[in-house]
Structure 1
Amino acid sequence: MAFSYKFFLMSLLLLPLANCENNYLHSCAKNITDNADLQARIMGVLYHLIKVTPAKGFTSSSFSSSGDDNTLYALAQCRGDANADLCSKCVKDAAKALLANCSEQAQAYIWYDLCFLRYDTVNFLGNWMIDGAEIYQTNTVEAQNSSAFIPTVKEMVDNLKSRATMPGANLFAKMVVSNISSLEGVNIYGMTQCTRDMNKFTCIECLDHVEGLLSSDCRSASGCKILYNSCYMRYETYDFFSTLSH
């Protein structure tokens, strides 16, 4: 089994990126140079995430040796509206990128438009506050009539939080706000998602934290993306949902 997943992941490095190569951010920490055992665990969890995630769009995993305290915890999640094929391609791309960029690091995160992967020696599962990593990106174009735009975004985000935590939503929601007073011709596209190791209440806590960053990180930008380890929010004035069909 050890040989099969190592061979599988090494062969993965030889394949071209399939789906998401221009849309990711990654972070690595906790150098583990010469720790071959922990590197084997990274290989093990990535193999598991690649094989299991596409069926349901999410999986969590841990990998350890008997009697050893150095367990590695991991999860992968695809965007809530991605089908199994797109999910599979994205998770493979993400695993390949982590192998290429973080092979000697015991903590790694990677975000794509359609999926998110994470592993760590600290058990973060179910707790959004553990070793949180935060990244934000803004559209360089300023919103027109920010006095009307910003309150509309806040109202939309509150709506998205409610929708994401409804039964059956799997902690994912997206919507379009149109026909906005004082913003003629402007549509606002919004999306939010929590990783599914969260429950409804920890998801809301994480989204509340991210929402609190909107004013400082996004200011009056016409589009903004805030990525946190266990949840994210994004809004734009163009249809970024269409990345699903690319």
Structure 2
Amino acid sequence: MTSYEFMRWLTFPLMTTHLVTVRNDLKRLLKSGVSTGKPLSILDVGGRKSPYTINLPAAVTLLDVPQEAGTKEALNLGFTDSILTTIQKKRSNITDVIIQDMTQSTLPDYSYDAVVSIEVIEHVEADDLFVKHIAQVIKKGGWAYFTTPNGDFIKNEGPGKNPDHVRHYTRQELHDLLSLYFETVDVHYAVSTGKYRVWSLQSLKSSNPVRIMKSLLGTVVNRFQSKGVETRMEHTAHLVAVAYK
């Protein structure tokens, strides 16, 4: 474990409800698989500096597009030279880093045990190709894990529109898309919305102690509020989907 991974592990209980939900889900999925005596291979699509697969007992390949000037640069999306030169020093479970657009994937079929794609698909114009290529690289019996904003409740329109989001899926829309390429699909809601979630998203690096305490309080309360919301369309921030080959 690197020092970076140790600090991530140490501060994990303080992280947002979304991050904790994803990490716990991935741990359960990894444990539920058939043991082969070696780590499962995971393709983290849009992974970049993804905290979601840090310290997981898996062989992780990070895949992302190159960062380009414009919206991607402004929102700090995609790979840069500086990220590529430091990421493998920080992460002990990274086996490869690939700069590629998943909608134009050249990866071999059946080359990974699982794929993780966290808050990525809403950025993708050609979402059908995106899901198709993800399904193709997964081995038989493997799975894909997605999260994306809950389009049943959070509409990407008006003055608050995110310029880099192509669409927000409803639960049914996401289920229907994934079902085109996967045999079994489960989509459910996650993370309660409201002021405590907003508080929890504030940076812990702030030099303002009041803001830090507010963020920690928001995290604790939002974690409690988010229990048992899997079927609640209203006032939930995310969709979580697990799709099995």
* Higher Cα Rg, which structure: 1
TM-score (norm 2): 0.25
